[in-house]
């Protein structure tokens, strides 16, 4: 374990969440899941930029400096001499307040940070994943598209379907039936020299690894990155398919329905570029 105290509330080691809290009552807050590598936050700035967008969307922009200060203080307290990987989750809630949906105007935000070990090496190129299906579709809400708010029941149900089906992940569609993501990651496909990912207009989460791929890694690997309204037939015809998130990095898809992929050369190239970027 990276630290002897796995949870901090408002910067203080604690094992209990004070109530009332609007995160528990309404899912009123946002969160970020960081990869910790040898005590260092990986892609810290990208996570904080997305956190700022989420807090602004929920009309809590003033919580950002406190969240950032608390995060940095906790990370500095970790034992950085311990090598290895861990997951750090930063949750910012609106805090307590009276009953009712309307946000209180004078309640300070609450910052919850937890740290847990990883049982895998996120920089290793994992075996290609078996991708299954789920009946759970992303809800359509443009106002919340892209941010990591605390209402994640769609992903909870989709992940349960993956477990029931005995697959590594499931493809999640939007309300029109177009591929949007997997349960816990962003979706990409390779078509010739193009790297395509679903555009996140009505739903989905704008992942930090997704942004790194679009802004830097694709071009460095000779690929033209684009956000598109991806269709299922395009996915099935793709040269390669993979998904990504903060804790797994990039993982190639090996099978979906009756389609299988054995050539993962572009995904391997992007994965190598990703590992090199993290060593910068």
The answer as to whether 2 is a domain residue is: no
**Predicted TM-score of the model (pTM):** 0.94
Residues 107 and 146 grouped into a single domain: no
Residues 112 and 171 grouped into a single domain: no
Per-residue tens of pLDDT for the chain, all 280 residues: 444 458 999 999 998 889 999 999 999 999 999 999 988 999 999 999 999 999 999 999 999 999 999 999 999 988 765 678 999 999 999 999 888 999 998 899 999 999 998 888 989 999 999 999 999 999 999 999 999 999 999 999 999 999 999 999 999 999 999 999 999 999 999 999 999 999 999 999 999 999 999 999 999 999 999 999 999 999 999 999 999 999 999 999 999 999 999 999 999 999 999 999 988 7
Q: Return d(Cα 203, Cα 22) in angstroms, integer.
A: 23
Among the candidates 91, 117, 143, a domain finishes at: 117
Among the candidates 74, 89, 117, a domain finishes at: 117
Q: Return d(Cα 113, Cα 116) in angstroms, integer.
A: 10
The answer as to whether 123 is a domain residue is: no
Rounded to the nearest angstrom, the gap between the alpha carbon of residue 47 and the centroid of all alpha carbons in its chain is 9
Token couple for 201? 């207009």
Residues 231 and 141 grouped into a single domain: yes
Cα distances (Å, whole numbers) of residue 255 to 155, 203, 236: 21, 25, 10
Residues 58 and 181 grouped into a single domain: no
Residues forming a β-bridge with 240: 190
Instruction: Tell me how many degrees the CA angle 108-208-50 measures, rounded to the nearest 5.
Output: 30
Q: Return d(Cα 110, Cα 278) in angstroms, integer.
A: 30
With beta carbons less than 8 A apart as the criterion, state whether 181 and 210 touch. Answer: no
Query: CA torsion 228→233→234→239, rounded to 10°?
Result: 150
Q: Which domain holds residue 144?
A: 129-278
| Structural domain count of the chain | 2
């Amino acid at each position: 374990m990276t630290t002897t105290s796995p949870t901090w509330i408002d910067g203080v080691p604690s094992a209990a969440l004070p109530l009332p809290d609007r995160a528990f009552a309404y899912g009123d807050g946002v969160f970020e899941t960081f990869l910790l590598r040898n005590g260092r936050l990986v892609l810290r700035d990208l996570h904080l930029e997305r956190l700022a967008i989420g807090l602004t969307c929920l009309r809590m922009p003033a919580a950002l400096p406190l969240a950032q200060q608390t995060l940095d203080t906790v990370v500095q307290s970790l034992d950085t001499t311990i090598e290895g990987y861990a997951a750090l989750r930063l949750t910012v809630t609106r805090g307590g307040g009276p009953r009712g949906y309307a946000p209180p105007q004078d309640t300070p935000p609450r910052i919850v940070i937890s740290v847990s070990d990883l049982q895998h090496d996120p920089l290793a190129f994992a075996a290609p994943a078996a991708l299954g299906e789920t009946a759970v579709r992303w809800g359509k809400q443009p106002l919340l598209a892209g941010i990591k708010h605390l209402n994640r029941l769609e992903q909870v149900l989709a992940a349960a379907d993956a477990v029931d089906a005995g697959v590594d992940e499931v493809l999640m569609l939007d309300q029109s039936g177009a591929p949007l993501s997997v349960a816990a990651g962003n979706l990409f496909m390779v078509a010739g020299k193009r790297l395509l990912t679903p555009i996140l207009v009505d739903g989905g989460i704008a992942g930090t690894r997704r942004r790194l791929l679009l802004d830097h890694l694709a071009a460095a690997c000779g690929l033209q990155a684009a956000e598109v309204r991806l269709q299922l037939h395009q996915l099935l015809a793709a040269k390669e398919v993979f998904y990504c998130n903060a804790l797994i990095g990039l993982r190639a898809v090996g099978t979906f329905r009756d389609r299988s992929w054995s050539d993962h050369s572009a995904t391997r190239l992007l994965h190598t570029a990703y590992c090199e970027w993290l060593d910068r």
